[in-house]
Chains A and B, each alone.
Chain A
Amino acid sequence: MSVQDLILNLHRFWAGQGCYLAQTYDLEVGAGTMTPDTFFRVLDKRPWRVGYVQPSRRPDDGRYGENPNRVQKHFQYQVIMKPSPVDIQDVYVRSLRSLGVALEDHDLRFDEDNWESPTIGAWGVGWQVLLDGLEISQFTYFQQCGGIDLSPVPIEITYGLERLEMFLEQKDDIYDLDWSADVTYRDLRFREEKEFSEYNFSVASVVMLRQAFGACQKEAARLIEKDLLLPAYDMCLKCSHNFNLLDSRGAISVTERVKMISQIRALVNDIARRFTTAKEGA
């Protein structure tokens, strides 16, 4: 099964669970959780089911294409179901079986791991899912997002597509994966990893990134005042990515780091608060 087949399979499976299949969001994000299809949709009381592929950028994880497991951009398959279904663990297990994994021959474990993202004021309780010791998914009952207690509680399931595919293909090197029948992961991604590692660690302009961080932060605050919450949130995502780049350039001290994260969080929490009060008023 290729990466492409894996994605098609997951799409079919989660569409069968009533999920709407969203398209990838068009901004750089660190995790599928950060896109509006999750962030805004978990805040209110309405039921919501969605599944989508989201590239996740973690500049610090760049390894110049030399590490068989780590990359500065990987692909997540993100599922949100709100409220969390009673049998969601069984549904998840069925999703693995639908990929052709004979679980009887393997060791599947729900291993305590509580997820949090201080940048968007979000945390949850759950597990990392291990298959023969390999972390293939994060499984989280979302408790808070944008600093707001979530009710109903959504379940978030994030599959690490490369990890899962390495398991399915029984391969040791990420670049040896088949994306489709005749395109490999190396064909698609190797050069990108090399160049972006160079960019993330050595070349990105610290001056430009700092300016961009400041400008996006200001713009977010201005847009919040105008009640343009979705554009304001986009600005926060840009702040977050610029921050990650500055971090991988080694340009941020520990104190500054805490300060910048809390600046973004303050904006995001403000957006979440306004978004929910506006909803309730309407």
Chain B
Amino acid sequence: MEFLLELLTEELPASHIRSALDQLEAGFRKELGAARIEIVSLRTLATPRRLVVVGDFAAGQEDREEVVTGPPLAIAKGPDGALTPAGKGFARSQGVDEALLEAIRTPRGEYLGFKRKAKGTPAAEILKDIVPRVLAALSFPKMMRWAESPFRFSRPIHGLLCVLGGTPVETSFEGFRASDETVGHRIASPLAIRARSFAEYTAELERNFVVVDPEARKRTILTGIEDALAPLTAKVYPDPELLDDLTLNVEHPLVVFGGFPEAYLSLPLEVLSMAMRAGQKLFSVVRDKKQLPYFLGVADAVADGKGLIRKGNERVLRARLEDARFFWDQDRKVSLKERAAGLKNVVFQEKLGSYEDKASRLKKIVSYLCDKLKAAEVKADTIEAAGLCKADLLTEMVKEFSGLQGRMGGLYAKQEGLPAAVHQAIYEHYQPGSLEDASPASLSGAVLSIADKMDSIVGVLGVGIQVSGSSDPFGLRRNAHGVCKVILDRKLRFSFPLLLDKVLAVYGDRLTVERAAVKASCLEFFEGRLRFMLEKRGSRYDLVAAALGPGLDQIYDVLPRVEALDSLKSSPQFEPFILMAKRINNILKGVPAAKVNPDLFVEKEERDLYSTFAIIRDNAQPMIARGDYARAQGITFKIQPVLNTFFDKVLVMAEEKKVRQNRLGLLQSINKMLLGIADYSQVVVEGEKPAKPKAPR
């Protein structure tokens, strides 16, 4: 049976629409499931003024057999099997023929009872309650009240269309009685419309200039863009986010093509596209990666026969570009170096000081990192970039378009003729902004990016601000992802704990939390972030846990460690090896550290094990040191047969204390070597109960 619901509202923000559609789908599935109404199909659609649910539901609940139990059989029937007064009373009270009574077996014993057919409730009846419940449960990031009601929603509500099988459902929500009525496009055709089926609904709306399916609107936009650009052999600069938003901003999309004076092309591409996108949601037009003096916009209109929409948008864009050119010219009158002096008045964080303080810390951190990464060739330039990278916060352009921070500084530095390593580092130091964003292409940019983010993370955690599920005011997760991504992408190897020590030392006594505690919480924080990132890349959670086992001395090494596990996990040696490692781990639980003395070996098998171990260790160590975990792991696997023989022939827990401790000491040495590669005890093998993975946040 076809179900159609439309909640008519004032213009909803795109992000609210996306969230509402998810909630509506989940809400109806859950409620209908609980009410035993079968869902054949269910989907959601939307325009900025309409949240729409279309479904095919069963006409009602299935009839079902119900068991009604009465008194215990022992009470209800006498020894002769005849009904007692209690039994008769039950039949009477239920209005059921005594002949239909039977013994019902339950876990508590036998009872007198009977079975009856229960008629299923029609879907229309059930939807009466479900519809207002699902709608009332909708929640939004920011909610409002209107008029005189205490009710809160995303924007005011104007009507509820709700039809099942061609008949309006007898229900209401927040004072709106469900009907079969809605309205057309606000400007083009604001008339009342009636619809009792989805086909009628879409057809009537289409006639009144509303395209209800977002996918259809998106197609119209894409076709419109293609048509407009075909004669130019140009392309629109891809911006899927903008496309999605625009699709949800209009009821009747109309692609508008316009232009701007070529003189503005002297502005950097970054500035042009930001000016177009930020204020007016316009797409840029490019050919061979070069900006053309055109734009594409999406209007909510039927046609632009007189070209007024195009001209209006051109006029507004011209004013914005004029502003941008003014900023670009003004900003370049003051060098970044002069401007950086003003950073002492700009607060980075109340307890952590100004951006000038931050810049001077960054100089020290990048200097340290360049030494550790043996990047002497960019050291001086990176230090210079560190001192200048925040100066663009004081430019007019960044005040107007905050999304250009960093990139603007880089562009201005380039204009000033600063060396490539300097302006690239400034330009790229906010990158990557997300896990999908690219890491800095330059080494100086990578170093400055890591330094900037580490300074923020250590500082913010160091003044006692916590990151929790819902609260991350300084974007520390994004920062930590950025650090890890740069390290992994560029294969940077340096000791992470020592970097933490350096950053802590640079902060000196500014931090309010004790140093060791900050360091520990940073390590824990990064471990969690790496776990999240590696699992997101598709590695098994237990292999990630095993790869994180040896610790974060080298952040980069976690990746080859997990890759080594990944590549060996299907080899036949893997599982026996894991089981053996677990066995060693179990034997050693709670055993105090013991030394190995080759003179104390008694059996041939333990001597063999010791010498094999020594050879393997000596071979594996340099491999581990240079991060070649695949080979290191391959070679340690070779210890397995010798170790097996050892376990077969030698009793570890020997009676004589010295011999016993010596054998335990040998196993400890082996364990230590294994733990340098992975914590194999974390790996789950078949037949084992998996340990519950920590939920990634």
What residues make up the interface of A, taking CB atoms closer than 8 Å to B? Answer: 67-70, 83-86, 89-90, 93, 103-112, 114, 124-125, 127, 131-134, 141, 143, 151-153, 155, 167, 170, 172, 253-255
Contact = CB atoms under 8 A, between A and B. Distances in A.
Interface string B278-313: 011010000000000000010111101110110111
Interface string B101-137: 0000000000000000000000000000000000000
Given A69-B319, A83-B147, A89-B10, 15 more contacts: A83-B148, A84-B156, A105-B304, A107-B300, A109-B300, A114-B142, A132-B309, A133-B282, A133-B297, A133-B317, A134-B312, A134-B316, A152-B148, A170-B315, A253-B345
B557 to A, nearest CB: 41
B323 A67 contact: yes
B319 A133 contact: no
B207 interface: no
Interface string B526-544: 0000000000000000000
A258 B309 CA distance: 41
Contacts of A90: 190
Given A104-B188, A104-B302, A108-B187, A132 B312 contact: yes
Nearest to B11: A110
A72 B537 CA distance: 53
B280 A133 contact: yes
Contacts of B300: 107-109
16 contacts: A68-B319, A69-B322, A84-B147, A106-B309, A107-B312, A108-B186, A108-B300, A109-B11, A110-B10, A110-B11, A112-B14, A132-B316, A133-B312, A143-B144, A153-B147, A255-B347
Interface in B178-194: 186-188, 190
B155 A125 contact: yes
A44 to B, nearest CB: 13
B339 to A, nearest CB: 13
B274 to A, nearest CB: 16
B249 interface: yes
A105 B147 contact: no
Contacts of B306: 105
B10 A107 contact: no
A133 B318 CA distance: 12
Contacts of A125: 142-144, 155
Contacts of A167: 312
A230 to B, nearest CB: 27
A111 B249 contact: yes
Contacts of B312: 106-107, 131-134, 167
Given A67-B323, A83-B147, A111-B249, A172 B315 contact: yes
A141 B154 CA distance: 11
B351 to A, nearest CB: 12
Nearest to A143: B144
A107 B309 contact: yes
B261 to A, nearest CB: 12
Contacts of B158: 86
A133 B187 contact: no
Interface of B: 10-11, 13-14, 48, 142-148, 150, 155-156, 158, 186-188, 190, 249-250, 254, 256, 279-280, 282, 297, 299-302, 304-306, 308-309, 311-313, 315-319, 322-323, 326, 345-347, 350
A152 B309 contact: no
A104 B252 CA distance: 12
B224 to A, nearest CB: 14
Nearest to B350: A255
A107 B326 contact: no
Contacts of B11: 109-112, 127
A67 B350 CA distance: 36
Contacts of B322: 67-69
Nearest to A155: B146
Contact of A84 (B14, B146, B150, B301): B146
A61 to B, nearest CB: 11
Contacts of B48: 110
B316 A133 contact: yes
B322 to A, nearest CB: 7
Contacts of B14: 112
A67 B316 contact: no
A111 B11 CA distance: 8
B187 A104 contact: yes
A186 B313 CA distance: 25
A167 B323 CA distance: 19
A172 B146 contact: no
Closest 4 CB pairs of A and B: A132-B312, A107-B299, A125-B144, A112-B13
Given A103-B187, A110-B11, A133-B280, A143 B145 contact: yes
Contacts of A253: 345-347
A140 B190 CA distance: 22
Contact of B144 (A70, A141, A152): A141
Given A133-B316, A141-B144, A143-B145, A106 B150 contact: no
A153 B145 contact: yes
Contacts of A105: 304-306, 308-309
A132 to B, nearest CB: 3
B149 to A, nearest CB: 8
A151 B309 CA distance: 39
Nearest to B312: A132
B26 to A, nearest CB: 24
Contact of A141 (B146, B311, B350): B146
A254 B313 contact: no
A100 to B, nearest CB: 13
A90 B280 CA distance: 24
Contacts of B249: 109, 111
A110 B14 CA distance: 12
Given A103-B187, A141-B146, A172 B313 contact: no
A69 B323 CA distance: 9
Contacts of B150: 151
A70 B297 CA distance: 24
A106 B315 CA distance: 14
A151 B151 CA distance: 11
A123 to B, nearest CB: 10
A165 B144 CA distance: 31
B313 A133 contact: yes
Contacts of B156: 84, 86, 141
Interface centre among A90, A104, A112 (most CB of B within 10 A): A112
A110 B347 CA distance: 35
A106 B313 CA distance: 11
Contacts of A124: 144
A65 to B, nearest CB: 14
Nearest to A87: B158
A210 to B, nearest CB: 16
Given A69-B319, A83-B147, A86-B147, A132 B346 contact: no
Contacts of B305: 105
Contacts of A141: 144-146, 156
B613 to A, nearest CB: 62
Contacts of A107: 254, 256, 299-301, 309, 312
Given A153-B145, A254-B346, A93 B316 contact: no
A118 B163 CA distance: 45
B301 A172 contact: no
Nearest to A69: B319
A132 B308 contact: yes
A66 B299 CA distance: 31
A112 B150 CA distance: 22
Contact of B345 (A83, A103, A254): A254
Contacts of A68: 319, 322
Contacts of B309: 105-107, 132
Contacts of B187: 93, 103-104, 108
Nearest to A127: B11
B347 A254 contact: yes
Contacts of A84: 146-147, 156
A119 to B, nearest CB: 19
A247 B166 CA distance: 63
